[in-house]
Structure 1
Amino acid sequence: MRLFIVPSWYPHACFPFEGAFARDQALALGTLRPEWRVGLGLWNQGEGFVSPDHLRRSPRCLLRALARLSEPPRTTPLTANVFEFEHAALATSQRWNGGNRQALLAASRRNWQRASRDWGAIDVIHAHGSYPGGWVAMQLAREHRVPYVITEHMAPFPLAVYARRDGTLLPILAEPLANASAIVAVSGALARRIEQFGFPAPEVVPNVVDERFFAPAPAPPDTPRGFTFFLLGGMTARKGVSELLQALADLLPRLSELHRAGVRLRIGGDGPDLPRFRAEAQRLGLAERVSWLGMLAPERALEEFQRCDAFVLPSRAESFGIVYVEALACGKPVIATRCGGPDEVVDDTNGVLLPVGDAAALRDALAAFVVGARHFDPVRLRADALARFGRSAVVGRLERVYERVLASPVTRAVGRAD
């Protein structure tokens, strides 16, 4: 199998978790299927996105992307059979220059040429995200008569920028989905939402967790007495950080002095709402209990998962939520909300699943963990997570998707004129 992956997002220096699911999946496929060749077609995703917000938040990131435009294309081996093919280009908002998608397509054609030159004919294209990755995959599939698969991750689906005022999808999102040989959704909730737009029912294949990396600490970590909650996510309103801070503030006066003394919340991540969240914590009298860790490298995130007593992320919307699975793989229980993806990850055997925006329920869930009313076996938490989201489980499901599209003659009738 020669697989060409087109991610819509990809990790980079400023945001090491952005689109990490595409790279993690590619590495899992390559490791468990050593006879395969897996290529990631990159155009500087994320780092090369031109917007006022990106320039304001991370000017050095965007400057690096501009500098890469003058550099030669790069081929970087991640393992013996997994490669990054990168030809730099800049992406923009859809509202300006059509997202510069023709430049992204041109860069992807160059990446395709190098992969084909090195390996021979590509068997399947796999895009992560209907746009821009899915749109690029559709064009490549049409040009080379190769089937393509789209895995959709978007939450909420669709984002406002991809929908008309009447709620229908813009062609740049609808056409890649309509012409794909197979549509995959990372959760059942997202699959049902996609199906509402008239597409065939997507197959559900979750994001993968690398159980070799996300694992309990070899020895019990040296942590202070008490109870530590950990949150990891983008610092935006959608992640429910404000709700968590308010719930924690409401909880503390209700606890005994013994339990109250040791309660801590550690928050990892960066984003536009971080200053507001910090101000809220100060106003609520939580400054001494909340630690703001900023953007965490994977190794630091692992340390926090291992050191915490429970992971909490009361999001308003998640298509999947790999951080919940990473916590479980480290043997830690989870507090989440019924906001899409977590509905199929979290239940009463591995944590608590709450209604979105229910401050009282969130407060009571935190209390139950702090006072020891809920107990979970770390070994069972990890075993269940690996059985559903580990590399073997996810790679097997993806392989069946690829085999099916290759076996179907319909997959060769790809696309229509743009």
Structure 2
Amino acid sequence: MLRVLILSTLFPDASRPNFGIFVERQTRSLVERGDVEVRIVAPRGLPPGPLARLPRYAALAALPEREDWHGLTVHRPRFVNLPGTGGRFHARAMVAALTPLLAEIRKDFAFDVISAEFFFPDGPAAVALGRRFGVPVSIKARGSDIHDWGRRPATSAQVIAAGQAANGVLAVSEAMRQDMITMGIPGDKIETITTGVDLTRFAPRDRAAAKAALGVAGPLIVSLGALIPLKGHDIVIDAVATLPGVQLWIAGEGGDRKRLEAQIARLGLGDRVKLLGSVPPDRVAAALAAADAMALASEREGLANAWLEALASGTPVVIPDVGGARQVVTAPAAGRIVARTPAAFAAALGEIISDAPAAAAARAVAEPFTWAANSASLQGFLSRLVRP
């Protein structure tokens, strides 16, 4: 029996049910293998004292310290997040908060390995905790966790040192693995394990009927991603502005909402572009099945779950050449890899709308990316760290 302690600041909770939902799905798939046990530690970074009662932190502060999250045991300890410090003290604060908790957990769950599911601050903290408890450590790089935190002056040295010290490191795409090697993380300890997709939830439907069920007439583009500049929603909005009669639905929430709302109003697109906010997975699946294409103009990605969810739904993608894009868009039916400009996105979307690939052909591209394959590779990787 392999006992895995999952350490992840990226994990769903009652206030953010879609936050890190892919980490939850990966964990469930690992448990479903039958010879793996897990405990999940999902730390919450909160400012000290009365600052934690500010509205922006209230929902996070109100979460229980421990709960049964849909059948999974999840611990949600607090660690001190000092505003204005650029994250430089996050990992140290996390270690201080988690050391007594992990000592308590080990009394009835003698974990064999710590699997950090986000590179910062989880990775540096996991390395320190692994040394303290005498267990190997794996750190997974997903995207901005390595590309952003790994380049910030306050945290880059911690990120690279953690990658060098970890027993094993995971990347979600080959492109990300190469980026990590360039940063100074030894390539011989990095393994690429791509994400999975729920092929039951995300599946083709009759597109006309799916559109009718959503009250949509005419071409529909869907975009999935947090409302942050990194995701490039403004580029897709500008592209759709040049495509008469095309609607755009953007599912996600974040700090860029007001700027995007102003852009939509300025372009007179209020009747064609909708910001849906945070959307449950079943509604995302319905929208993707109705869409003619999924467009996401990210500046950086690892290998986005949104790409695979769209393809599994029979819907082609239009994306820039970032991260694992070339591992996913491997055939014309999968969509287009384009320059990160409104004109390039508009041209590709126009082509797909006028000459749509068969849904079955698009789905075939996603079918190898199963959660079963993901968890089998992950179990093997973690087992090798425990028993080299």
Q: Classify 1:392/1:50 alpha carbon distance in 2 versus 1 (closer, same or farther; 3 Å).
A: same
Task: Indicate which of 391, 396, 399 corresponds to 2:379.
Answer: 399
Q: Could you tell me the TM-score, scaled by structure 2's length?
A: 0.87
1:232-266: CA deviation from partner (whole Å, max 9, x where unpaired): 111122222221122222233xxxxxxx4xx2111
1:300 aligns with 2:275: no
Alignment-derived partner of residue 140 in structure 1: 129
Give the counterpart letter for 1:245 in structure 2. Answer: I
Aligned: 1:375 with 2:340: no
Aligned to 1:384: 365
Q: Secondary structure at the match of 2:78?
A: coil
Structure 1 regions of 5+ residues with no counterpart?
253-259, 409-418
- 2:149 touches 2:159 (CA, 8 Å); kept in 1? no
Alignment correspondent of 1:87 = 77
* Aligned-pair Cα RMSD in Å: 2.8
TM-score by length of 1: 0.82
Q: 1:86 to 1:279 in 2, by over 3 A?
A: closer
2:61 pairs with one of 52, 61, 66:
66
Any idea what SS the aligned residue of 2:107 has?
helix
Which of 143, 153, 175 aligns to 2:161? It is 175
Cα distance in 1 for residues equivalent to 2:91 and 2:299: 30
Worse-matched range after superposition: 357-366 or 101-110: 101-110
Match of 1:415?
none
Q: What residue is the counterpart of 1:365 in the other structure?
A: 348
Q: How does 1:217-256 map to 2 (within 5 A)?
A: 217=205, 220-223=209-212, 224-252=216-244
1:62 aligned partner, one-letter code: Y
Cα 1:398–1:350, aligned 2, differ >3 Å: closer, same or farther?
farther
Whichever residue aligns with residue 374 of structure 1, its letter is A
Q: Residues of 2 paired with 1:85 and 1:159: CA distance?
A: 27
8 A Cα contact 2:46 2:79, kept in partner: no
| Aligned pairs (5 A) from 1:45-64 | 48-50=45-47, 60=55, 62-64=57-59
Matched ranges for 1:111-122 at <5 A: 111-119=101-109, 121-122=110-111
CA distance 1:159–1:77, change in 2 (3 Å): closer
Matching residue's letter, 1:125? I
Give the paired residue count: 379
SS of residue in 2 equivalent to 1:125: strand
**Aligned letter for 2:357?**
H
Deviates more, 1:399-408 or 1:19-28: 399-408
Ranges in structure 2 where 5+ consecutive residues have no aligned partner: none
How far has the Cα of 1:359 moved from its partner?
2.8
Change (3 A) 1:97 1:354: closer
- The verdict on how the C-alpha distance between 1:97 and 1:385 changes in structure 2, with shifts beyond 3 A counting, is closer
| CA drift at 1:286 | 1.8
Q: Where does residue 40 of structure 2 map in the other structure? A: 40
